Amino acid sequence: MSVQPPIINVMEQAARKAARGLNRDFGEVEHLQVSRKGPSDFVTAADMQAERVLLDELRKARPRYGFLMEEGGAKPGKDEHNRWIVDPLDGTTNFLHGIPHFAISIAQEQDGEIIAGVVYEPVRDEMFWAAKGLGAFLNRRRLRVSSREHLRDALIATGIPFRGKPKHPAYLDTVAKVMPEVAGIRRFGSAALDLAWLAAGRYDGFWEFGLEPWDIAAGLLLVREAGGRVTDIEGKDAMFANGSVLAANARLYDPLAKLVHAGMG
């Protein structure tokens, strides 16, 4: 058991309020699958409404903080040291197709460092949260990355660029190198949840390119506070700058990195 810091309480309350609308709209999306027009416009509206709820709730709690949001972009605040980094719906394509695997991600960035974050999966009511130096948790249960030592036993998560994104050949090459060496590869379509599940020991490693800060901000802290190692693809701390992530438990990080780098040539 753990007592949540006040800042986590703020993020949790905001996420839960936004999630009520997403859960309601998700039920409607399932019905819209059979319509001729399709649910795309509806999902865009649901995404933006969730972001508005998060903006309002977080601004009420910390009115001076700035924002970096998927839909709304950067919004400077009077507090130059703190800002929220928010993805109101990570896993939009899953949501669009009626697949119950999506999340809300909120992180607090202070002077360029992520110090608190939540990733909330509303369908299963799983609230992953972490605060710098206090550990990572799922609801009230402490999280640790897996203890697996060999890639042959490891389940690895990744993401493949969707239509209009570059680097498809690079992904195929890295997958070709990793796949024969591991127990399995999963591509579930939400980087925020991939990192949260890595922190929870459900996955043993993760790599992806082409990510945005709001996709990964909270998840990076979750992995670190759960005892994992997370960097960009080059082994540096520049995930926001280049949009790549490589993460695993301490035993598997180096062998996974070797395979990914081999695939990249």
Over the chain, what is the mean pLDDT? 92
CA dist., res. 1 & res. 89, Å (int): 28
In this predicted model, what pLDDT tens digit does every residue of 232-248 receive, in sequence order? 999 999 999 999 999 99
Whether residue 1 lies inside any domain: the answer is no
For residue 126, give the CATH number of its domain.
3.30.540.10
pLDDT at 37: 45
Residue type, 191: A
In this predicted model, what pLDDT tens digit does every residue of 20-32 receive, in sequence order? 999 998 888 766 6
C-alpha dist (Å) from residue 94 to 29, 100, 256: 11, 7, 27
Does the reported pTM lie above 0.85? yes
Final residue before a domain boundary, out of 116, 142, 168? 142
Final residue before a domain boundary, out of 117, 142, 167? 142
Kindly report the number of other CB atoms within 10 A of residue 159's CB atom: 21
In this predicted model, what pLDDT tens digit does every residue of 150-209 receive, in sequence order? 999 999 999 987 665 666 677 889 999 999 999 999 999 999 999 999 999 999 999 999
Mean pLDDT of 244-262: 97
In this predicted model, what pLDDT tens digit does every residue of 138-155 receive, in sequence order? 999 999 999 999 999 999
Whether residue 93 lies inside any domain: the answer is yes
The count of structural domains within the chain is 2
pLDDT at 257: 98
In this predicted model, what pLDDT tens digit does every residue of 40-67 receive, in sequence order? 566 678 889 999 999 999 999 999 999 9
pLDDT at 34 over 50: no
pLDDT at 36: 47
Instruction: Give 38's pLDDT tier (boundaries 50, 70, 90).
Output: low
Q: How, if at all, do strands 205-208 and 229-231 pair?
A: unpaired
Final residue before a domain boundary, out of 120, 142, 164? 142
C-alpha dist (Å) from residue 46 to 49, 106, 174: 5, 17, 34
Q: Which domain holds residue 29?
A: 6-142
**In terms of domains, do 131 and 159 share one?**
no
pLDDT at 71: 81
